[in-house]
Amino acid sequence: MRHIISVVLENETGALSRVSGLFSQRGFNIESLTVAQTNDPSLSRMTIVSSGDDRVLEQIVKQLNKLIEVVKVSDLTSQDHIERDLMLVKISPTKKDNFDLKQLVDVFSCKIVDVTDKTYTIEISGKTKKINAFLDAFDPASILEVSRTGVTGISRGKKLI
Amino acid sequence: MKLNGAEILIDCLQQEGVKHIFGYPGGATLHIYDALEAQEEIIHVLVRHEQGAAHAADGYARTSGKPGVVLVTSGPGITNAVTGIATANMDSIPMVVISGQVPSPLIGNDAFQEVDAVGITRSCVKHNFLVKDISEVAITVKKAFHIATTGRPGPVVIDIPKDVTINQMELEEYPETVKMRSYKPTTKASNRQIKKAAELIANSQRPILYSGGGSVIGNASKELREFTRLLGFPITQTLMGLGAYPGTDELSIGMLGMHGTYEANMAMHDSDCVVAIGARFDDRITGNLAKFCPSAKFIHIDIDPSQISKNVVADIPIVGQTKQVLQALIEELKDEKLADISKWWSQINTWREVDSLAYRKKSGVIKPQTVIEVLYEVTKGEAIVTSDVGQHQMWAAQYYLFDEPRRWINSGGLGTMGFGLPAAMGAKIAMPDKDVVCVTGEGSIQMMLQELSTMLQYKTPVKIVNLNNRYLGMVRQWQEFFYEKRYAMSYMDALPDFVKLAESYGHLGILVENEADLKPALVEALKQKDRTVFVDIITDPNENVFPMIPAGGAHCDMLLAGRDDMISKDETDFNAV
């Protein structure tokens, strides 16, 4: 089962490698990992997408909590939450892509952010599934380059991590 | 008054109450050594190899309960220490390791004697630090000792670049306490869980207490005794836990696991309530998890939440210090009426009659088990015994009955050959008035022999009992059982003359080839209060450690000495209770 784990940790050099090292050392899998400073510059927030059964998840959360620099850990998937993935994709439509690109961009509520004579660069954000669906709309040969942030997330309502 | 970083570091260590440092100097630590030389409060023990420093500090910590302190230089200094750090980490031993680092501007430059110490040690420490500025020295030392000694203890590495030790600043007051928002080790157990556990304990028909290293490290021996005697339950202890409960007591049914006693393993297998106290269900304990304790409910007491339900799902998890949890359980249970377990005890006593540690003596050869029994006799069971890793370690654990905690010092988790000798040296420095014996084998001892030299320099008289069977015995045993007697690389040819070797290091050596000479030799060795004595004992090369649960087996599938077949449960009256 897929889990989105939010981790608040000290914004210190080496903290990221402690987390990624923990995952490889204990054989936990990482689908994506995103990290940046929070509104408190002394803290970073990391969102990790991993998969495993409940016991694996329990171990991941416990092992993360054991890291000295980790302040808080929360499994977002166990609660009502919002998740977003951001993608920048460079496309050069082929003949097989027989649709109006502008229309497709409207359907997915995304933006064309850069255009050249041969390419379009599109920015799209949303759930992972939506982004995958957007990519699936194109002939694979027309997709030149993809850069995704991986999932970041936050709980709904007044509840804080 | 302005001090340099090295002087501040030494001042901090003094204020932490450090009395001994085990270390080895080098380019990156020259300033630190210069500051050490200028004071007398801390004694520095100059080892002969950095791995020896880490093991000695570890042995010092295990016997005294105080954190061991190690000082090594950059590059090979810290990489040599890694095995010792990992050993301490696996067994939750408090240790602070200070490593020199190349000057800050050279970090990342492939400088002479540069390694990424923080990166290399990350996965085998509780935490590590790189000190980037002289203003961080004091707070980092404070944090390091705090982290190393609280919660589930463990080693902490402080990596200090050379320029940080050279730069100067005004000496500030050493902080008395430290608060870290991200580190709050849980200590107070939940009352609800205590009540639930007490109820299960009171109603169990076939209970067993399974106590581990957490009872020793958590200084819970007194509470464990009170708890066990209050309940009258059988108690089995892990390799790491031996001595927290007296091994000679009638409620003690010995060690459990791969080389545990028949009664301990059978009782685990048939139990309906296993109370794990500071133990972590290691694979050497559980054997095949699918067949482990099929009818038991588990109460799991541990200070580290990540140990709970890691290997075995706990029915009642209790996160807390063993000492406090046991106190709370005693309080809860002292007026409680317990279920009658006399049938369970009579079952356990029939298992005891199997006498699974019995072995047959053979004329003309010295049985290794006999050596441990004689050692037990001549030391009256009161010595601090360190061991290396292998068959001798198991025999020492089985036949030397430890009645007190912190007397049995061995590398249980990592299984580090070479641990025994430096650990004995550290133990002797921590407890100069106690007899310290290192039980070892001719394989293990050769991994850290150089420390014999340190032991002469610092006058740490240790008795080395070398079970010399000319084989890497545990490897040979597995090859005999599971590799059709293909003894690949397990025979040790070209062994040194250990007596001459000991003598060349300035110690006394005694060779024992006949059983008749065994006791007099050990008596003589222990009489030499001021000298290290190397007793080289030629033992039976073909002896194996029994009982044994083969890999993948259940606790009821034990191989016993002198019986070709496994004893299966069908042969015993397991339905009696």
Over residues A59-87, the pLDDT tens digits come to 999 999 999 999 999 999 999 999 999 99
Domain-by-domain residue ranges, chain B?
Answer: 2-170, 191-352, 368-538
Paired with B140 in beta bridges are: none
Active-site pick, B7, B16, B22, B50: B50
Q: Is B380 exposed, middle or buried (CB count within 10 Å of its CB: 0-12, 13-18, 19+)?
A: exposed
**Residues A91, A150: one domain?**
yes
* Kind and range of the H or E run holding B49: none
Q: Decide if B501 contacts B466 (C-beta within 8 A).
A: no
Which chain B residues are closer than 8 Å to A55 by Cβ?
Answer: 309, 313
What is the SS3 assignment for B53?
helix
Other Cβ atoms within 10 Å of A122 Cβ, number:
20
Residue B71 and residue B32: Cα distance in Å, rounded?
9
Structure tokens at B329: 């359980």
Residues A23, A29 contacting (CB under 8 angstroms): yes
Tell me, yes or no, if B474 is annotated catalytic.
yes
In residues, how long is chain B? 577
Sign of the CA dihedral B3, B4, B10, B16? positive
Query: With contacts defined as CB-CB under 8 Å, which chain A residues touch B130?
Result: 13-14
Crossing angle of helices B30-37 and B5-15, in 10° steps, is 50
Please choose, from the candidates A139, A138, A144, the residue with its C-alpha nearest in 3D space to the C-alpha of residue A91: A144
The residue type found at B237 is Q
pLDDT value at A134 more than 90: yes
Q: Catalytic site residue B402?
A: no
Which stretch of DSSP H or E encloses residue B509? Answer: strand B508-512
pTM of the model: 0.95
> Which of A25, A55, A71 shows the shortest C-beta gap to B181?
A71
- The upper half-sphere exposure of residue B134, i.e. CA atoms within 13 Å in the direction of its Cβ, equals 20
Residues of B in Cβ contact (< 8 Å) with A63 = 306
Examine the domain organization and report whether A62 and A86 are in the same domain: no
- The answer to whether residue A148 is domain-embedded is yes
In this structure, the answer to whether residues A74 and A85 fall within a common structural domain is no
As a whole number of angstroms, the distance between CA B124 and CA B153 comes to 13
Length of chain A: 161
Q: Coil, helix or strand for B114? A: coil
Query: Closest Cα partner for B240 from B378, B351, B90?
Result: B90
Q: Is the peptide bond before B547 cis (omega within 30 degrees of 0)?
A: yes
Query: Is residue A21, in this structure, part of any structural domain at all?
Result: yes
Given A49, A78, A107, the domain boundary residue is A78
We report the CATH number of the domain holding residue A45 as: 3.30.70.260
Say if CB B429 and CB B55 are below 8 A apart.
no
Confirm or reject contact between B311 and chain A (CB < 8 A): no
A 15-44: CB under 8 A from B: 17-18, 21, 25
pLDDT at B576: 32
DSSP 3-state of B428 = helix
| Same-domain check for residues A103 and A37 | no
The structure tokens listed for B226 are: 């009170």
| Token pair for B447 | 């991994």
Domain end (from A17, A49, A78): A78
Residue closest to B398 by CA, chosen among B260, B540, B279, B284: B260
Question: In this structure, are residues A122 and A145 in contact, taking their beta carbons and an 8 Å threshold?
Answer: no
Cβ of residue A66 closer than 8 Å to a chain B Cβ:
yes
| Residue A106 and residue A70 share a domain | no
Residue B265: both structure tokens together = 């393993």
Does A66 sit within 8 Å of B306, measured CB to CB? yes
pLDDT confidence of A45, banded at 50, 70, 90?
very high
Chain centroid to Cα B424, Å, comes to 12
Q: Would residue B380 show up in a list of annotated catalytic residues for this protein?
A: no
Asked if the C-beta of A14 comes within 8 angstroms of chain B's C-beta atoms, the answer is: yes
Query: Which of B89, B122, B182, B307 to mutate to probe the A interface, most A CBs <10 Å?
Result: B182
Is B368-538 assigned to CATH 3.40.50.970?
A: yes
What pLDDT score does B563 carry?
60
Which residues numbered 132-161 in B keep a CB inside 8 Å of some CB on A? Answer: 147
Cβ distance B313 to A55 less than 8 Å, yes or no, reads yes
Measured CA to CA, the distance from residue B248 to residue B361 in angstroms comes to 23
Structure tokens at B394: 């198991």
3-state helix, strand, coil in chain B (%, to 5): 40, 20, 40
Contact check, Cβ <8 Å, B130/A58:
no
B157 SS3 class: strand
A159 within some domain? no
> Residue range A88-115: average pLDDT?
94
Could you give the ipTM of this predicted complex? 0.92
Say if A28 falls within a structural domain. Answer: yes
Find chain A residues with C-beta within 8 A of B147's C-beta.
68
Q: What are phi and psi of B576, to 5 degrees?
A: -60, -30
* Chain A residues within an 8 Å CB radius of B312: none
Cα–Cα distances in angstroms (integers) from residue B24 to residues B122, B135, B425, B448, in the given order: 22, 25, 16, 15
The number of domains in chain A is: 2
Give the model's pLDDT for residue A98.
86
Partners of A40 on chain B (C-beta within 8 Å) are none
Beta-carbon contacts of B531 under 8 Å, excluding residues fewer than 6 positions away, are B461, B507, B508
Write the CA distances from B220 to A152, B296, B404, integer angstroms.
Answer: 45, 24, 11
**Does B127 lie at the interface with A, CB-CB under 8 angstroms?**
yes
- Do B126 and A68 count as a contact with CB atoms less than 8 A apart? yes
**B567 CA to centre of own chain:** 31
Per-residue DSSP letter, B121: H
β B20-23/B68-72 pair status: parallel
Q: Is residue A71 part of a domain?
A: yes
CB contact under 8 A, A68 and B130: no
- Please state, rounded to an integer, the average pLDDT across all residues of chain A: 95
Residues A91 and A54 in one domain: no
Closest Cα of chain A to B127: distance in Å? 7
Tokens of A104: 């497709």
Q: Which fold has domain B2-170?
A: Rossmann fold (3.40.50)
Residue B548 falls in the annotated catalytic set? no
Residues A26 and A38 in one domain: yes
Nearest CA in chain A to B184: A68
Residue A107 lies in a domain: yes
- Put simply, the answer to whether A9 touches B182 (Cβ < 8 Å) is yes
By C-alpha distance, which of B385, B419, B360 is closest to B540? B360
Would residue B37 show up in a list of annotated catalytic residues for this protein?
A: no
pLDDT for the residue numbered B577? 33
Q: 């100069």: which residue's tokens?
A: B432
Residue type, B36: L
Nearest to A25 among B123, B127, B181 (CB): B123
CATH number of A148's domain: 3.30.70.1150
* CATH architecture of the domain with residue range B191-352: 3-Layer(aba) Sandwich (3.40)
CB contact under 8 A, A68 and B118: no
Domain of A19 in residue numbering reads as 2-78
Please name the residue of chain A whose CA is at the shortest distance from the CA of residue B304.
A66
Q: Which residue of A has its CA nearest to B124?
A: A25
- Are A14 and B304 within 8 A, CB to CB? no
Residue A161 placed within a domain:
no
Are the Cβ atoms of B122 and A18 closer than 8 angstroms? yes
Which DSSP letter does residue B338 get? Answer: P
Among A17, A58, A66, select the one facing B309 at the smallest CB separation: A58
3-state secondary structure string across chain A: CEEEEEEEEECCCCHHHHHHHHHHHCCCCCCEEEEEECCCCCEEEEEEEEECCHHHHHHHHHHHHHCCCEEEEEEHHHCCEEEEEEEEEEECCCCCCCCCHHHHHHHCCCEEEEECCCCEEEEEEECHHHHHHHHHCCCHHHEEEEEECCCEEEECCCCCC
User: Where would I find the H helices in B129-251?
Assistant: 137-149, 162-166, 191-203, 213-217, 221-231
Cβ-based burial of B131 (10 A; exposed 0-12, middle 13-18, buried ≥19): buried
Same domain? For A69 and A85 the reply is no
Selecting among B142, B143, B162, B323, the annotated active-site residue is B162
Among candidates B119, B182, B304 on the partner chain, residue whose Cβ is nearest the Cβ of A69: B182
Which of A78, A111, A135 terminates a domain? The answer is A78
Same domain for A25 and A89, yes or no, is no
Which among B90, B266, B394, B474 is annotated as catalytic? B474
B441 C-beta neighbours (distance < 10 Å), count: 30
* Alpha-carbon span A84 to B551, nearest angstrom: 47
Coil, helix or strand at residue B159: strand
Which chain A residues contact residue B313 at CB under 8 A?
Answer: 55
What gap in Å lies between CA B97 and CA B118, rounded to an integer?
A: 11
What is d(CA B423, CA B386) in angstroms, rounded to the nearest whole number? 7
Q: How far apart are alpha carbons B79 and B99 in whole angstroms?
A: 10
**CA contacts within 13 A on the Cβ side of B468:** 23
* pLDDT tens for each residue of chain B, 577 residues long: 899 999 999 999 999 999 999 999 999 999 999 999 999 999 999 999 999 999 999 999 999 999 999 999 999 999 999 999 999 999 999 999 999 999 999 999 999 999 999 999 999 999 999 999 999 999 999 999 999 999 999 999 999 999 999 999 998 899 999 999 999 987 789 999 999 999 999 999 999 999 999 999 999 999 999 999 999 999 999 999 999 999 999 999 999 999 999 999 999 999 999 999 999 999 999 999 999 999 999 999 999 999 999 999 999 999 999 999 999 999 999 999 999 999 999 999 999 999 999 999 989 999 999 999 999 999 999 999 999 999 999 999 999 999 999 999 999 999 999 999 999 999 999 999 999 999 999 999 999 999 999 999 999 999 999 999 999 999 999 999 999 999 999 988 899 999 999 999 999 999 999 999 999 999 999 999 999 999 999 999 999 999 999 888 899 989 998 765 444 444 343 333 3
Does A125 map to a domain?
yes
Active site residue: B37, B39, B112, B250, which one?
B112
pLDDT of residue B126: 98
Choose among B118, B310, B313: nearest Cβ to A14: B118
Subunit contact B147:A68, Cβ cutoff 8 A = yes
Pair A87, A101 in one domain: yes
Contact A70 B126 (CB under 8 A): no
Cβ pair B22, B426 in contact under 8 A: yes
